[in-house]
């Protein structure tokens, strides 16, 4: 286990080129992340937020925006970046420590050989993401306790949430996605997704502008046939054909009508009866959604 670094070092100057675009994208990201945090009360005064940093564009963007928001937030909260080094062959272990030291961010690098576990248990050619994520989640929960973190921040964005919704709808028979805020089954941990309102395209542009030292995930290889990649492409194609459809789909996740679905645990259909004593509702009945 490598020690946590807490020595602050001045952050490097941001790229001078395209500074106006950097400011514009950062302003939009800060507004969306700030709104999500406020809507779901993700971060409160005195919190210690453990930002899970993989080395991908999303987690880099999450950390950068949280640091920016913290500098002007009306509350105080601490940030510690955590990376789980899964011992992937060729993983550049120096990249994240060097970056975080330059940024003056306290961090902890945890080394666990989950790569060998996944390769041993998953037959060649099959999807490794499910097992990999379960192993990673267990270690992150443990680390949050050891480091005294009160919130675990993940870098899932709006596109991830929509893709998860369709994956569950198409392949598991469940109407569920990724919630912006989640309590673990044990009740001991709270997971937050501050990027819930942010589009992946904005994060990709932000990462390119700020030249984050991206580390690709090579554990699963390319796996071009992953269902998630296919769903991602489907959403992109659909939004090109019908601009705004993804926005509408995302809005629908926060606008649920239980009485117009089929889940008996959410609405008591059994006791639903006509009430002859009710005022004439012929006008409102005609306006009901019957699609």
Domain assignments of the chain as residue spans, ordered by start:
19-252
* Residue showing tokens 């037959």: 123
Report the chain's C-alpha Rg in angstroms: 22
Predicted confidence at residue 286, as pLDDT, reads: 47
CA atoms of 193 and 39, how far apart (whole Å): 12
pTM for the structure as a whole: 0.85
Could you tell me the CA-to-CA distances from 5 to 96, 104, 169 in Å, in that order? 12, 9, 43
Predicted confidence at residue 19, as pLDDT, reads: 87
Looking at domain 19-252, which CATH architecture does it have?
A: 3-Layer(aba) Sandwich (3.40)
**Given strand 181-183, what is the order of strands in its sheet?**
107-111, 78-85, 48-52, 151-153, 190-192, 181-183
Tens-of-pLDDT digits for all 291 residues of the chain?
A: 444 444 544 444 554 557 899 999 999 999 999 999 999 999 999 999 999 999 999 999 999 999 999 999 999 999 999 998 877 777 888 999 999 999 999 999 998 776 666 666 666 665 656 656 777 788 899 999 999 999 999 999 999 999 999 999 999 999 999 999 999 999 999 999 999 999 999 999 999 999 999 998 655 554 545 788 899 999 999 999 999 999 999 999 999 999 999 999 999 999 999 887 766 555 455 445 545
Give CA 70 to chain center in angstroms. 19
Contact yes or no for 235/242 (Cβ under 8 A): no
Predicted confidence at residue 2, as pLDDT, reads: 46
């Amino acid at each position: 286990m490598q020690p946590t670094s807490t020595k602050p070092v001045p952050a490097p100057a941001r790229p001078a080129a395209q500074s106006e675009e950097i400011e514009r994208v950062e302003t939009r990201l800060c507004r969306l992340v700030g709104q999500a945090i406020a809507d779901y009360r993700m971060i409160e005064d005195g919190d210690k937020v453990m930002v899970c940093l993989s080395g991908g564009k999303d987690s880099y963007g999450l950390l950068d925006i949280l640091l920016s928001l913290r500098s002007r937030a009306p509350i105080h909260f601490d940030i510690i970046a955590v990376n789980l080094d899964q011992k992937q062959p060729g993983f550049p272990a120096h990249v994240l420590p060097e970056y975080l030291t330059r940024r003056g961010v306290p961090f902890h690098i945890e080394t666990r050989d989950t790569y060998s576990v996944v390769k041993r248990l998953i037959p060649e050619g099959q999807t490794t993401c499910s097992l990999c994520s379960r192993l990673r989640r267990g270690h992150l929960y443990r680390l949050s306790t050891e480091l005294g973190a009160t919130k675990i921040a993940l870098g899932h964005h709006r596109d991830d949430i929509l893709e998860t919704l369709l994956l569950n709808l198409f392949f598991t028979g469940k109407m569920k996605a990724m919630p912006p805020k989640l309590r673990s089954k044990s009740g001991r941990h709270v997971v937050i997704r501050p990027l819930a309102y942010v589009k992946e395209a904005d994060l990709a542009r932000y990462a390119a502008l700020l030249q984050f030292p991206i580390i690709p995930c090579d554990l699963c290889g390319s796996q071009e046939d992953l269902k998630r990649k296919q769903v991602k492409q489907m959403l992109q194609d659909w939004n090109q054909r019908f601009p705004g459809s993804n926005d509408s789909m995302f809005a629908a996740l926060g606008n649920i009508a239980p009485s117009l679905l089929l889940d008996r645990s959410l609405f008591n259909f059994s006791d639903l009866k006509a009430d002859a004593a009710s005022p004439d509702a012929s006008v409102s009945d005609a306006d009901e959604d019957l699609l």
